[in-house]
Structure 1
Amino acid sequence: MRKYSLLVTLLFISVFANAQEKKWTLQECINYALEHNISIKQSELDVEGAEIEKRGAIGNLLPNIQASASNSWNTGLTQNVTTGILENQTTRNFSAGATASYTIFDGLRNIRQLQQAKISKLAAQYSLQKMKDDIILYVVDAYLKVLSNKQDLDVIKSQNEITKEQLDRTKDLVEAGSLPKGDLLEIKATNADERQRIIVAENNIKISLVNLAQTLLIKDYKTFDIVNRDYEIFGTDVLDHSVYEIINKAKENRSEIKVAEANKKLAEKNVEISRGAYLPTLGAFINYNTRESGSNGIEYIETPPSQETTQIGYVESTGEAVVTQSQPQSVTRIVGPRPFVEQLWRNDGISYGFQLSVPIFNGFSIRNQVNRNKVEVRRAEYQLEQAELDLESNVYQAYLDAKGSYEAYEAAKVAAEAQELAYSYANERFDVGLTNAFDFSQSKIKYENSQREAVRAKYDYIFKLKVLELYFGVPVPDLKF
């Protein structure tokens, strides 16, 4: 039993430790955001609502079938349907019916409403795709900022390790009288400054991790962390294209343009639908109904004709008698209600026909609605034009940003390499006493700053390059990091 309890405890500790040590990759962050982001969920609801509207438009093209039934009791002074006399009584009546109607022609409005519903669903899907692209960019930007801050911390820590070595060596040289005490104080000041920058860098990492967690809607900030990975630069071929090629590709692929185009088509379809109200509406219907009553009925009974004859006159010329045989007599009597089913088939009936409605004058309401929808068409055209202008501006800005960040990254690499050589030279001179601690510290700071700037420029270029690739039409799953 003890072994079993120990095994369970160890298993629980292992699972808990793995949960605490989980580190998120970029793809995991993207997938999680796409699944849990509230804005994306709202856009998915818009698509679902558009699908419902589409099914409703399809339903408008189908026949309308309704059935009804009622069973009522009337109590009090009412006319006896059998005798025709007012009596205090309770009567029961049942009726049932079914009606089928179908719109044959309504100015093509039902068909155009179905077309409109299909366009509306496409617009919702385009909006959802744009929302997903935007969220992915937010996640990538926040993720790369965390990596940049982590590598910034690594640079400072690595430089601080060198400073500590220099501090120990300088202590020995000062104690041996080879270096003045001021050099030792300068190195100590450099070490203290680097320790302060380490604290700031660690805080920047925490802040960027919190920002990423908030973007993902993750509330466990304390244990949230990402995989430490040095991303390389891929897909630079997009910069070989001219900005106008990228703009044209963006107009073909970007969701914001497709949404604006769909909205324009929706506005045009509204004009067609409103114009349909000018035309007549023709419908067909068929109705079946029956009834049953719990009241007594009247039964007519005919008596058989008698064999007796009655003289009604005579022939004047001959004096012959004219006689007639008695006719059958009809006798009525009150009987109980017929069986329920028998009454239903005896009392049923069918009605059918067509119904035509022709609009003649309605206070200009149809004309005003058509004109209002025409105004919305022009508004949608302006919005499409504005969307194209905004896209051109954004693509041009992204192109310049990517070009500029590439040049900045290349310059930062060259500067870092130059500062590394300068630092190595300064380090050699300091070791042999040819330069003082202040000059050495300044060279070291410049080298550290050049490394940090190279890291920042690298991740800035990666992000801006991916933005440009999205505008060029590269699908999100195909983006390389």
Structure 2
Amino acid sequence: MKFFLILFLISFVSFSQEKSKKITPWTLEAAVEHAVENNLQIKQAYLDVLDAETLKLQAKGNFLPSLNLSANHSWNVGLNRNLTTNLLEDMTTQFSSGSIDLGINIYNGRRNIYQLMTSNLGILASKYQLEDMKEDVMLLVVNGYLQTVFSRENFIVQTNQLSVAKSELKETKELVKAGVLPKGELLELEATLASQEQIVVNAENDFEIARISLAQLLLINDYKNFSIADNDYEMVSSLIMEKSVDELYNEAIKSRNEILLAETNVEIAKTNLKIAKASYQPSLSGYYSYNSRVSYADRLVSTDDFNQIPFGVVEGTGERVLITQSETKVVPHLSILDQLRANDGQNFGLSLRIPVLNGLSVKNNVQRSKVNLLRSSNQLNQQKLNFERIIYQAYSDAKGAIKNYEAAKKTTIARKEAYQYALDRFNLGASTSLQFSQAKQRYDSAISNELRSKFDAIFQIKILEFYFGIPLKL
């Protein structure tokens, strides 16, 4: 009994794990979100944002004073003068020194302010560029996803058509067997069936290629288990088509990242021009320095004992002249703190720099900044023209795609009726198998064209909605 209970538990756990491993089909929203989170180019653009934020910290640091500490310790080995005996001896002496230097920028033509403004604009430009790259990736995913959906739907349609062809071939065999139709008609239908099988193989291959391409775009390596959601993608009316193209352009241009990026680049160029012109102005800075030193050599100090030592003689009498001199002794060096206090020194002041002649470098920098400003302005105008062309093209494509889909639906209905009429005539022996096969091929082609035009219309409308700021959803 215990054995069967354990076996049941193992089977249940295995079934649960296998069920948990089941891959959920990808919806368009999930695919877009996954692509934005994992695309390598987007990750690279995000690093550019981090780099721009670092440049902002550097610009803020320009407002702070500079503070530097320095320390030195030296050894003098060899022939040196002994300070206690005043004799040259082979010895080693050591010295230490240190300093604190402080500098502050008082005025430099407001360059620090302009550099901070440039860094803020740089962060904004990097974010716009990041969002623009995300939008490009989104459109690629939508295109790849809809292409996969179309390929799958086309494969299903062609498979169904193959089933219909097989059913028709079976019925024709019965009619031939009954003597209603000649055997030659059967051969024509067999050729049509073989052609339909080839179409199914090609449709399946197109679906596999589209599915794998979408998986590669999403950076998914498990091609075998990758699948898209099995939803009913019907063509629905969109309010976006009720707006005029000018209304679409005027609304969309307010939030398009490529336009905002170009406008930000113009502001950056203007600020860089101010930075270049600031070099014409004088700069004023202040500085302060504190330093001290330490010696590790022994020293001579006076004692409380005094001696009378001869200094000379009195001319004429020959009497010796004596002077009183304090006795000295050799003692160790003072403590480091005492020496630092005794040997310290300070230096402070102001420094004024007035540019007079710098090889025309300032003038050339200003001229280059003006050229860059004109270049950025031209790029902004070009971006607006490009976007206007894209909006008009997208609007025209969407209108044309919708009309094409409506026409394709009418064609399919007409081809279906013609196919049904040809089928009835063929079953009655009033038409040949060639005429019936041609009617069927035209009907199959109409179905494929309708399917293709439907997804093309969906994609064109989604592009227009995307430019207008409507989230991508199916």
Per the normalisation by structure 2, the TM-score is 0.90
1:170-229 residue CA offsets vs partner (Å, 9 max, x unmatched): 111111111111221222112111101000000101111122122122233333322222
1:372 aligns with 2:368: yes
Cross-structure match for 2:240: 238
1:157 alignment partner, one of 159, 178, 183: 159
Report which stretch shifted further, 291-300 or 418-427: 418-427
1:272 alignment partner, one of 271, 274, 277: 274
Cross-structure match for 1:385: 381
- Cα separation, 1, equivalents of 2:142 and 2:9: 41
Structure 1 counterpart of 2:278, which letter? G
1:467 aligns with 2:463: yes
1:253-298 residue CA offsets vs partner (Å, 9 max, x unmatched): 1111111111122122111111111111111222222222111123
1:479 aligns with 2:472: yes
Do the aligned partners of residues 13 and 93 (structure 1) sit closer, same or farther apart at CA in structure 2, a change above 3 Å counting? farther
Helix, strand or coil: the match of 2:229?
coil
- Cα separation, 2, equivalents of 1:231 and 1:443: 28
1:395 aligns with 2:391: yes
Cross-structure match for 1:309: none
- Cα separation, 1, equivalents of 2:54 and 2:137: 26
- Cα separation, 2, equivalents of 1:8 and 1:297: 90
Within-5 A mapping of 1:96-245: 96-234=98-236, 236-245=238-247
Per the normalisation by structure 1, the TM-score is 0.89
- Cα separation, 2, equivalents of 1:254 and 1:84: 84
- Cα separation, 1, equivalents of 2:399 and 2:182: 49
Report which stretch shifted further, 63-72 or 394-403: 63-72
| 1:364 CA displacement | 1.0
Structure 2 counterpart of 1:388, which letter? K
Structure 2 counterpart of 1:219, which letter? N
| 1:13 CA displacement | 6.8
| 1:148 CA displacement | 0.2
Structure 2 counterpart of 1:372, which letter? R
- Cα separation, 2, equivalents of 1:302 and 1:33: 91
Q: 8 Å contact 2:101–2:287 — kept in the other structure?
A: yes
| 1:427 CA displacement | 3.0
Q: 8 Å contact 1:249–1:471 — kept in the other structure?
A: no
| 1:31 CA displacement | 1.8
Do the aligned partners of residues 293 and 135 (structure 1) sit closer, same or farther apart at CA in structure 2, a change above 3 Å counting? same
- Cα separation, 2, equivalents of 1:412 and 1:13: 48
Helix, strand or coil: the match of 1:355?
strand
Number of aligned positions between the proteins: 459
| 1:369 CA displacement | 1.0
Structure 2 counterpart of 1:284, which letter? G
- Cα separation, 1, equivalents of 2:329 and 2:237: 102
Helix, strand or coil: the match of 2:293?
strand
Cross-structure match for 2:350: 354
| 1:20 CA displacement | 6.3
Cross-structure match for 1:333: 329
Do the aligned partners of residues 18 and 425 (structure 1) sit closer, same or farther apart at CA in structure 2, a change above 3 Å counting? farther
Cross-structure match for 1:427: 423
| 1:112 CA displacement | 0.6
1:416 aligns with 2:416: no
Cross-structure match for 1:51: 53
1:358-381 residue CA offsets vs partner (Å, 9 max, x unmatched): 212111111111111111111111
Structure 2 counterpart of 1:277, which letter? S
Structure 2 counterpart of 1:473, which letter? G
- Cα separation, 1, equivalents of 2:80 and 2:8: 89
Q: 8 Å contact 1:67–1:99 — kept in the other structure?
A: yes
- Cα separation, 1, equivalents of 2:12 and 2:202: 38
1:1-57 residue CA offsets vs partner (Å, 9 max, x unmatched): 977588557745764576465432222221221122111111111111111111111
Q: 8 Å contact 1:150–1:205 — kept in the other structure?
A: yes
Cross-structure match for 1:41: 43
Q: 8 Å contact 2:104–2:286 — kept in the other structure?
A: yes
- Cα separation, 2, equivalents of 1:298 and 1:235: 105
- Cα separation, 1, equivalents of 2:350 and 2:233: 73
Do the aligned partners of residues 65 and 31 (structure 1) sit closer, same or farther apart at CA in structure 2, a change above 3 Å counting? same
| 1:135 CA displacement | 0.4
1:345-392 residue CA offsets vs partner (Å, 9 max, x unmatched): 333333322222221211111111111111111111111111111111
Q: 8 Å contact 1:103–1:284 — kept in the other structure?
A: yes
Q: 8 Å contact 1:76–1:90 — kept in the other structure?
A: yes
Structure 2 counterpart of 1:205, which letter? F
Report which stretch shifted further, 84-93 or 392-401: 84-93
- Cα separation, 2, equivalents of 1:167 and 1:238: 47
Identity of aligned residues (%): 39
RMSD across aligned positions (CA):
2.5
Q: 8 Å contact 1:33–1:216 — kept in the other structure?
A: yes
Q: 8 Å contact 1:235–1:480 — kept in the other structure?
A: no
- Cα separation, 2, equivalents of 1:81 and 1:406: 103
